[in-house]
Amino acid sequence: MEAEVIKAELVLPTHMSFKRVQTYEKYPKGQSKVRWKQLKQIIQAENYQNYDPDEPNYVNIESPPSMQPCKRICDITGFEAPYQDPRTNLRYANADVFKLVRSLPNEYVQRYLALRKAAVVLR
Amino acid sequence: MPFISKIERQTDYNRFPSSTPIVIDNGASYFRIGWAGETEPRVIFRNIIQRPRHKSTGETVTVVGDHDTALLRYFDCTRSGPRSAFDGNVVFQFEIMEYILDFAFDRLGANGARIDHPILITECVCNPVQSRGKMAELLFETYGVPSVAFGVDAAFSYKYNQLRGICDKDGLAICPGFTTTHVIPFVDGEPVYKGSSRTNIGGYHVTDNLKQLLSLKYPHHMARFTWEKIEDLKMEHCYIAPDYALEARLFQIGSKEAEDKTRQGQRLREMAEAKRSSRVNELENQLHGLEFLLQQLGQVQEEETPSFLSKTGYVSKQEIESTLTKVSQSLRKAKGEAKVEQADNEEKADSSDKYPLINVPDNMLTSEQLKEKKRQIFLKTTTEGRQRAKQKRVEEELERERKTREDEEQRLENPELYLEQMRTKYKELCEKVEQRKRLKTNGGHANGNSSSGGVGRGERLNAAQRERMRLLTTAAFDRGKGEDNFGAKDEDWQLYKLMSKDNDDDDDGPDEIEAELARVCSRLQEIDPAFVPKPESTPSQPTTAEIPRVRPVTKEDFQVVLGVERFRCPEILFHPILVGIDQAGVDEMVGVSIRRLSTKNEALEDRLTSSIFMTGGCSLFPGINERLEAGIRMLRPCGSPIKVERASDPVLDAWRGASVYAANLQFQQQAFSRADFYEKGEDWLRQYQLRYTL
């Protein structure tokens, strides 16, 4: 280890005096082999439908979809955008922006759409 | 970063008795830990880890929090980005959590066989019991903690501010956080989770949105937009517009107010200005000091001069004068005046001092002095030549500037006409270049059968080479048949001079035209948004799609303009639909929350809305108060009282509230111990809720 790295105490030491079980004992091969459950799986495993729907739980308190009219703003400039390009599905505010929209390469089009989560995802 | 991590190791761990609880605010953005009863957390750091590989030893190490990037160069960070223990606002990666807790306890100064203090740790609203259980298990098993309590950070913040009188015992807490936003109603000082609501939008999404927008707008800067820098930008410049449509229209019509609101690399310019003015001041002071010295020297008597000089530190009067001239020159330079006067002064001084021997005639000098004289002549001519070249360059610059200025004026006068002119010029130049190319490559084909000096590979020779051949063959034939006496006379060799001259002309011509073409091309690219440069269709370069840009790098290349993005990005807190998340925004959530309470008690609802309390990092955007108030007024019946207050310190108040809570004597009854945890089981843990009023 370089001297300045040690001085700055950048790295977490492997042995901690206040721990009863050290990390290297718990995870002998470095990273743990256990695949931690993602949030979706945790929620699934909770089985909230078995419990009283009146009781607040993680899924209950989520907000419903918005009731307000959808705000349409131009993807590129941020102004109000009443128009949508049928070919690329990008929203644009006026004719100048439209010229720009049509001249964008496909990669940029997808990235602009990805801002709105409207991109075509090929999985 | 306006918010700095504190990670020095604390030394007074042993001062605290075993009954003092440790308070942890485990947030998705920052991890704060400290002792109960204090006003500031001792250790604060970003709640992320990295596991890079050390370059020389090859071992994988853990780095917690954000650290000095300069030190990370010893590590190979390509495979290890920053990782968080959170998914949304729920902890799911307990290995990472363990590393973080390790680091936190270590920096708190923990020593001894186990952490022998009760712990109060924050969690999200309605934390799934699995996450809660694993966290409790981690604390009990690995760290040997005697007792643990879980609480909601927004509730602690609310109670803390209730003590301060900022909100009442009935109210609404709005907590826009890092990954989620919560609205929690409080009745009689206790949170009612039944009426709470959560939207999965937060500061992280705002920063991410800003980062994507800026990367798309400035693709050549994409590599430099790191997440931390964008967060800095967001904290410094973003605000919430009271009405999005109005603000956008301001920018669209390009009004002066819009220009005032754009931030255009201002910070850099200000720093440069400050540096320059400080240097100018320094130099001026120096100048005054030296002038004063000179004055004094003039007044002092002849005999006393040496002693006076030794006091000031200068050896002779000339030295003072030379330093004076130097300082005044650099002052002038700093103020931006022309350097031409300087060069003139230098030249004059040089010619008089450095070349004393030049004017002396040769016969009066010894051999050594002659050599010296030759050297001085040489130096003088070279410096003169250099200066002449500089002069020419300056003149060329001026000429070019004049031309560009004329151009600009022309453009501004009549943009359409100018554009048309440019376009026609571009077309002509393109055609000329193509023609030349065609001549080079296809000219051979056309005259392949003609007598081009018996050259077999007619297609590949360009016009210049053919010309050369022609000259040579005519020269040979013109001289008449018989012997070959080509080189007998000197004038014969002049033929080669002709040839090489032809060759040069041919190569220079297209270069000039191409340079002109590149210039016109770049100009068009700057001013015409719809212009696409025609790719040069040469068969030898089928892969290049763009011609290399010869555009000179201007200062605009290093500026990032933040106009609409300033208020477009925080807008997503109110309209998550703008980033594709189909949920209610903050103002709508208040209505949802009140509806969910379903008290049908008008008075209670009025009390709730008259004490609306904002906490959490995202509530620091300027303008959020007014916007929220306007939004809530739209939902509530006309005339109902609405009052929106922000926490005294939205970022640290959660920890402070928890600290005050833990310092209370009744805290121990609210925490549960290891024995409780193992005996009572999961169901009990699910029902476990903290009582916030003690």
Alpha helices (H) along B165-265: 203-217, 227-237, 244-252, 256-261
Segment B662-682 mean pLDDT: 86
CB distance from B194 to chain A under 8 Å?
A: yes
Q: Is the pLDDT of residue B251 over 70?
A: yes
pLDDT given at position A29:
65
Q: Which residue of A has its CA nearest to B211?
A: A115
pLDDT band at A14; cut points 50, 70, 90: confident
d(CA B217, CA B603) in angstroms, rounded, equals 51
Q: Is the pLDDT of residue B535 over 50?
A: no
Q: H or E element: which one contains B186?
A: strand B181-187
DSSP state, B6? B
pLDDT given at position B539:
37
pLDDT band at B183; cut points 50, 70, 90: very high
pLDDT band at A45; cut points 50, 70, 90: confident
Q: Is the pLDDT of residue A2 over 50?
A: yes
Q: What does the mean pLDDT of chain A come to?
A: 82
Share of chain B above pLDDT 90, in %: 11
DSSP state, B60? B
pLDDT given at position B360:
62
Share of chain A above pLDDT 90, in %: 1
Cross-chain residue pair B130–A45, CB shorter than 8 Å: yes
d(CA B339, CA B329) in angstroms, rounded, equals 9
Alpha-carbon distances of B519 from B328, B364, B526, B533, B535, rounded to whole Å: 40, 58, 11, 12, 15
Note the pLDDT tens digit of each residue in B315-344. 666 776 777 777 777 777 666 543 344 444
Q: Which residue of B has its CA nearest to A77?
A: B564
Q: Is B462 helix (H, G, I), strand (E, B) or coil?
A: coil
Closest CB to B95 among A32, A58, A79: A32
- Chain A contacts of B87, Cβ < 8 Å? 38-39
- Chain B contacts of A92, Cβ < 8 Å? none
Note the pLDDT tens digit of each residue in B270-314. 556 667 777 777 777 777 777 777 777 677 655 565 665 566 566
Q: What does the mean pLDDT of chain B come to?
A: 77
- Amino acid found at B618: C
Note the pLDDT tens digit of each residue in B446-501. 444 444 444 445 455 566 777 778 877 777 666 655 666 666 777 777 777 766 55
Could you tell me if B612 and B230 are in contact, meaning their C-beta atoms sit under 8 angstroms apart? no
Query: CATH topology for B168-202+570-646?
Result: Nucleotidyltransferase; domain 5 (3.30.420)
d(CA B117, CA B97) in angstroms, rounded, equals 19
- Chain B contacts of A115, Cβ < 8 Å? 209, 212-213, 579-580
Segment B138-162 mean pLDDT: 90
Contacts of B88 (CB under 8 A, 6+ apart): A39, B124, B179, B180, B200
Query: Can you name the residues that pair with B183 across neighbouring β-strands?
Result: B174, B197
Token pair 């002066």 is at which residue?
A: B256
Cβ contacts from A onto B, under 8 A = 186
- Secondary structure of A55-95 as H, E, C letters: CCCCCCCECCCCCCCCCCECCCCCCECCEECCCCCCEECCH
Cross-chain residue pair A19–B209, CB shorter than 8 Å: no
On the 0-12 / 13-18 / 19+ scale of CB atoms within 10 A, B230 is buried
Note the pLDDT tens digit of each residue in B269-278. 555 666 777 7
CB distance from B5 to chain A under 8 Å?
A: no
d(CA B562, CA B237) in angstroms, rounded, equals 8
Cross-chain residue pair A10–B565, CB shorter than 8 Å: no
Q: Which residue of B has its CA nearest to A43?
A: B128
Q: Is B535 helix (H, G, I), strand (E, B) or coil?
A: coil
Q: Which residue of A has its CA nearest to B134?
A: A36
CB distance from A121 to chain B under 8 Å?
A: no
Least trusted range by pLDDT, from A4-13, A93-102, B227-236, B580-589:
A4-13
Q: Is the pLDDT of residue A15 over 60?
A: yes
Q: Is the pLDDT of residue B23 over 90?
A: yes
Lookup: tokens for B605: 């609802």
Could you tell me if B123 and B83 are in contact, meaning their C-beta atoms sit under 8 angstroms apart? no
Could you tell me if B238 and B221 are in contact, meaning their C-beta atoms sit under 8 angstroms apart? no
Closest CB to B128 among A58, A67, A100: A58
Segment B65-85 mean pLDDT: 76
d(CA B146, CA B136) in angstroms, rounded, equals 11
Query: CATH topology for B13-166+651-687?
Result: Nucleotidyltransferase; domain 5 (3.30.420)
